[in-house]
């Protein structure tokens, strides 16, 4: 229920139904880690959804900041996250802030992240960084080191993020290209810089950036490439044209070959 999953377009009951279904599926996949996208502009709704996810056995929540009042202060955001952490997150629960200012219009500042980490060292454990800002990726690594788990959210910056001490990634294109992400990860762990694999991600991401927003195109490709259901998107998004898939898909496959 993040961006690709259109989480903010789903009602509370729909989100919880998805969470329950996935929790049931984990019985056959005991090693699977489950992160729930739970952020809404309403603190009370976010508390309820987040607490419900942990009650279902989820490992962590990835939480958007309240994204309606875009000029909220750091103190206001700290108060919002503090009440969420106090009222919805168990002692063994974990929260990642979801930093995606191009979509939310709300940034999680370095000062805010530091304060949350200092105040909740065992609960506020990381950030999903979908800012798309290479300088910000470097700043996060330089400031926090290994003290804050950073999960890169932009495929084009994956290698840079790893060099800046990121712990991994949660990206839109990982739904389609996770083997390439894994190659970059494995080579990084071995001390190698895999420019070829990163260039493939860059080329694929550039194609998707030409046809925003991403969720309709990703779901169309999942259907064409892997036989998954041809899921419809929720308004205000519109389904990707089948004729356009015929044009773009060959370009995409050429970029990653």
The model's pLDDT over 151-165, given as tens digits with 9 standing for 90+, comes to 999 999 999 999 999
Contact 148, 127 (CB under 8 A): yes
In a domain, 80, yes or no: yes
In a domain, 242, yes or no: no
Q: How confident is the model at residue 37 (pLDDT cuts 50, 70, 90)?
A: very high
d(CA 130, CA 117): 19
Please give the pLDDT value at position 31: 87
Q: Which long-range contacts (CB under 8 A, 24 or more apart) does 175-184 make?
A: 175/4, 175/218, 175/222, 176/204, 176/218, 176/221, 176/222, 176/225, 177/201, 177/204, 177/256, 180/256, 181/155, 184/158, 184/159
Going by the DSSP 8-state scheme, the letter that residue 121 receives in this structure is T
Q: How confident is the model at residue 174 (pLDDT cuts 50, 70, 90)?
A: very high
Domain of 43 in residue numbering reads as: 1-129
In a domain, 220, yes or no: no
Q: Half-sphere exposure of 250 toward its Cβ, with a 13 Å CA cutoff?
A: 4
pLDDT at residue 210 is higher than 90 = yes
Give tens-digit pLDDT for 183-205.
999 999 999 999 999 999 999 99
Please give the pLDDT value at position 69: 94
In a domain, 23, yes or no: yes
d(CA 80, CA 98): 14
Give tens-digit pLDDT for 16-32.
999 999 999 998 998 89
* Number of separate domains in the chain: 1
**C-beta neighbour count of 249 within 10 angstroms:** 16
Give tens-digit pLDDT for 104-160.
999 999 999 999 999 999 999 999 999 999 999 999 999 999 999 999 999 999 999
The residues annotated with a catalytic role in the active site are 3, 68, 98, 128
Rg (alpha carbons) of the chain, rounded to whole number: 18
d(CA 89, CA 49): 11
Please give the pLDDT value at position 30: 82
In a domain, 56, yes or no: yes
Please give the pLDDT value at position 84: 98
The CATH number assigned to the domain holding 39 equals 3.20.20.70
Q: What is the mean pLDDT of the chain?
A: 96
In a domain, 113, yes or no: yes
Closest among 29, 27, 48 to 38, alpha carbons compared:
48
d(CA 235, CA 173): 22
pTM of the model: 0.94
* Mean pLDDT, residues 6-10 taken together: 96
d(CA 79, CA 77): 5
In a domain, 238, yes or no: no
pLDDT at residue 94 is higher than 90 = yes
pLDDT at residue 87 is higher than 90 = yes
In a domain, 252, yes or no: no
């Amino acid at each position: 229920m993040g961006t690709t999953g259109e989480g903010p377009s789903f009602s509370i009951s729909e989100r919880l139904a998805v969470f329950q279904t996935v929790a049931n599926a984990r019985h056959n996949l005991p090693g699977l880690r489950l992160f729930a996208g739970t952020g809404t502009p309403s603190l009370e709704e976010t508390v309820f959804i987040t607490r419900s996810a942990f009650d279902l056995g989820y490992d962590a929540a990835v939480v958007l900041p309240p994204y309606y009042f875009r000029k909220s202060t750091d103190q206001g955001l700290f108060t919002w996250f503090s009440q969420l952490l106090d009222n919805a997150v168990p002692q063994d629960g974990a929260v990642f802030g979801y930093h995606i200012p191009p979509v939310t219009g709300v940034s999680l500042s370095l000062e805010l992240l530091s304060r949350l980490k200092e105040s909740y060292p065992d609960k506020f454990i990381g950030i999903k960084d979908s800012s798309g800002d290479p300088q910000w990726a470097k700043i996060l690594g330089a400031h926090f080191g290994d003290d804050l788990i950073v999960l890169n959210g932009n495929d084009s910056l994956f290698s840079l993020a790893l060099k800046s001490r990121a712990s991994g990634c949660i990206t839109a294109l990982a739904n389609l290209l996770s083997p390439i992400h894994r190659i970059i990860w494995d080579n990084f762990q071995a001390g190698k810089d895999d420019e070829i694999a990163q260039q493939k991600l860059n080329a694929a991401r550039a194609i998707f950036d030409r046809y925003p927003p991403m969720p309709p195109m990703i779901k169309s490709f999942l259907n064409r490439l892997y036989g998954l259901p041809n899921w419809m998107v929720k308004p205000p998004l519109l389904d990707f044209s089948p004729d356009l898939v015929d044009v773009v898909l060959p370009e995409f496959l050429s970029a990653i070959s």
